[in-house]
Amino acid sequence: MSSENFINPSYIFGLLDSAKRTSDAEITKILDKAERFEGLNHIEIASLLTTNKPEHIARIFGIAGKIKQHIYGNRIVMFAPLYVSDYCVNRCAYCSYNCSHEFGRRRLTMDEVREEVKILEQMGHKRIALEAGEHGKQCPIDYILECMRTIYDMKFENGAIRRINVNIAATTVENYRKLKDISIGTYILFQETYHQETYEKVHVSGPKKDFAYHLTAFDRAHEAGIGDVGGGVLFGLADPYFEVLGLMIHNERLDERFGSGFHTISVPRLCPAAGMTISEFPNLVDDATFERIVAVIRLAVPFTGMILSTRENHEMRGKLLKLGISQISAGSSTEVGGYAKRARKEIINPQFFVNDERTALEIITELMDDGFIPSFCTACYRSGRTGDRFMSLAKSGQIKNVCLPNALMTLTEYAEDYGDAPFKTKTASAINRELPEIANERMRQKTAENIAKIRTGERDFYV
Ligand code: SAM
């Protein structure tokens, strides 16, 4: 194992094995700690992943729901992916972009980027995740930077895309510095699997095959000054509990080295895609295991945002939102140029098949009906609350005094700009219900004033 590789499989498997013998008293102690919002280390997490006792499992779910409600309230942050290029030099067994899969590849021209962004803006999105395959020639860093510049330069009557998170292949400190300089939001990179043997098997060839280089990408991003990094694994490639421990060990290492762990954790599950056969993957994760994983991660890192994408269906999303998910995508297309194609009703050719085909407005309306507050907030990064600064505010509980006001103000903007009359009525009653939840009186008053101003046409308030 190289010094850069901090994932030791025999240690993790040994831990999962010995954790099965954790006493009831010890599990109760771990759960009590989680209930105090203190988070858990990977050794404690192993015990919660392996317990089979129904009373422990019920308590894990109960505490996850409690943490979610206490820290995030009813807010759900909304985003959409924007695929800009599907050229790829890697041969990843699970991905339709794999270079041995033949299809008409392309990257967006800047006019096409603008066309996609216009459609995303018409859906109300303010936060996007920019996605691309890895290809030094067809999709160099300068192309990604050009896309970002184009997007940030677009101003609409109702605002703009205010935060661009970027999900591109592991790269150099120099390239991360360029992303930092152009105001990247979160740099997102999924480890795919922390199990090196599986990693090397599913990444058949290409630069992504280098496990250690991929694993240390966030160290380089931090070195370049990117404080917000978002991790994740692609559930379905290896033993899911091994993956959760890998993620947590990675999180602890980032926390020790840089003062904050992951800003967000994504929990994608493997989906069917063109050019791969899903039945060939022996570690697909069933719904019950997946729910437990989301709940345990929520207990382990209560202040880390958890992202769920369109890979999950409507029913599953509903359950997971209660257990810990704090960010979801809506109205997504996972195809390069997919939003414009959808608008023109052309046949689609996605990176993988999404499980929730409803429009953004349908999803957002349903969230409101279920008592959630869809939030289009992008304030933290714009106010410099990133990395360890964000985490210390979150841990002190102060963040609540800014998140709820921002959520209510951006939801009002959304209702005014994109909602019909019934949606505006729903928004007004949600605001009446939630405003008293803002503990700080001055902030509550300011929020109410700003909401009134938004209703008369002013925009882009944030704290
Ligand atoms: N190329 C970038 C990299 O090297 O990390 C990432 C961009 S890729 C468009 C985003 C993510 O899609 C990948 O990290 C992978 O986890 C996910 N993905 C690929 N194939 C998938 C599938 N069949 N089902 C679900 N997610 C998939």
Q: What is the pLDDT of residues 442-456, one digit of tens each?
A: 999 999 999 999 999
**Cβ partners under 8 Å of residue 341, min gap 6:** 333, 335, 347, 348
Distance of CA 219 from the midpoint of ligand 1 (Å): 20
Q: Which amino acid is at 204?
A: V
Angle at 79 between CA 76 and CA 85, to 5 degrees: 160
pLDDT at 3 over 60: no
Tell me which residue has its CA closest to atom 25 in ligand 1. 270
Ligand 1 atom nearest 133 alpha carbon? 1
Q: Say which residue, 334 or 389, is predicted with more confidence.
A: 334
Nearest CA to ligand 1 atom 18: 95
Is the CB of residue 321 less than 8 Å from the CB of residue 64?
Answer: no
Distance CA 455, CA 260 (A): 38
pTM of the model: 0.95
**What does the DSSP 8-state code read for residue 233?**
B
Break the chain down into helix, strand, coil percent, rounded to 5: 50, 10, 40
Best residue among 92, 95, 283 to mutate for probing ligand 1's pocket (most ligand atoms within 8 Å of CB) is: 95
CA of 190 to the centre of ligand 1 (A): 8
- Distance from first CA to last CA of the chain, Å, rounded? 46
When comparing pLDDT for 393 and 47, which is higher? 47
**Cβ neighbour number for residue 267 with a 10 Å cutoff:** 26
Place of tokens 């990257």: 107
User: Is residue 8 over pLDDT 90?
Assistant: yes
Secondary structure (3-state) at 221: helix
The CATH H-level superfamily of 74-357 is Aldolase class I (3.20.20.70)
Average pLDDT of the segment spanning 331-335 = 89
Closest ligand 1 atom, residue 189 Cα: 5
Q: Measured in angstroms, how far is the CA atom of residue 387 from the centroid of ligand 1?
A: 24
Strands (E), 151-308: 163-167, 187-188, 203-205, 229-232, 264-266, 305-308
Torsion region of 17: left, alpha or beta (phi above 0 gives left; psi -120 to 50 gives alpha): alpha
Stretch 56-79: mean pLDDT: 94
Mean pLDDT, the chain, integer:
93
Distance separating alpha carbons of residues 303 and 390, to the nearest angstrom:
10
At residue 312, the pLDDT reads: 84
Q: Within 6 Å (CB) of ligand 1, which residues are found?
A: 94-95, 131, 133-134, 167-169, 189-190, 192, 208, 234, 268, 270-271, 273, 311, 351-352
pLDDT for 240: 98
Angle at which helix 287-300 crosses helix 42-50, to 10 degrees, equals 150
pLDDT category at 314 given cuts 50, 70, 90 is confident
Tens digit of pLDDT for each residue in 140-183?
999 999 999 999 999 887 778 989 999 999 999 999 999 999 99
> 81 has which bridge partners?
129
Top mutation candidate among 85, 135, 165, 167 for ligand 1, by most atoms within 8 Å of CB = 167
Gap from CA of 178 to ligand 1 centroid (Å): 23
Nearest atom within ligand 1 for CA of residue 208 = 4
pLDDT of 330:
87
- Indicate which residue's Cα is closest to atom 16 of ligand 1: 234
- Where exactly are the structural domains of the chain? 9-69, 74-357, 397-455
Return the percentage of the chain with pLDDT > 70, whole number.
98
Q: Please give the pLDDT value at position 399.
A: 73
Q: State the Rg of the chain over Cα.
A: 21
Q: Relative to the CA of 86, which ligand 1 atom is closest?
A: 9
Distance 346 CA to ligand 1 centre (A): 23
Dist CA 355 CA 375 (whole Å):
22
**What is the rounded average pLDDT of the residues 56-68?**
97
Taking the centre of ligand 1 as the mean of its atom positions, its distance from the CA of residue 170, in whole angstroms, is 12
- Range with lowest mean pLDDT among 35-49, 148-162, 417-431: 148-162
Residues 6+ apart with CB under 8 A from 69: none
Backbone angles phi, psi at 233, to 5 degrees: -130, 160
Distance 61 CA to ligand 1 centre (A): 29
Q: Which residue puts its alpha carbon closest to atom 6 of ligand 1?
A: 168
Distance 384 CA to ligand 1 centre (A): 29
Alpha carbons 123 and 316: distance in angstroms, whole number: 23
Ligand 1 atom nearest the C-alpha of 90 is 4
The residue-averaged pLDDT of 281-299 equals 97
| Residue whose CB lies within 8 A of the most ligand 1 atoms, among 190, 216, 243, 285, for a mutation test | 190
49 within 8 A of 16, measured Cβ to Cβ: yes
Rounded to the nearest angstrom, the distance between the alpha carbon of 185 and the centre of ligand 1 is 19
Which residue's CA lies nearest to atom 3 of ligand 1?
169
pLDDT exceeds 60 at position 379: yes
CB neighbours of 296 closer than 8 A, spacing ≥ 6?
45, 48, 49, 60, 64, 244
CA 114, CA 225: separation in Å to the nearest integer? 28
Coil, helix or strand for 29? helix
Distances (CA, A) of 110 to 158, 168, 355: 21, 18, 29
The Å distance, Cα 270 to ligand 1 centre, comes to 9
| Protein residue whose Cα sits closest to atom 13 of ligand 1 | 190
Residue 402: how many CB atoms within 10 A of its CB? 21
CA distance 45 to 126: 35
Ligand 1 centroid distance, CA of 95 (Å): 6
Tokens at 165, concatenated: 């998170």
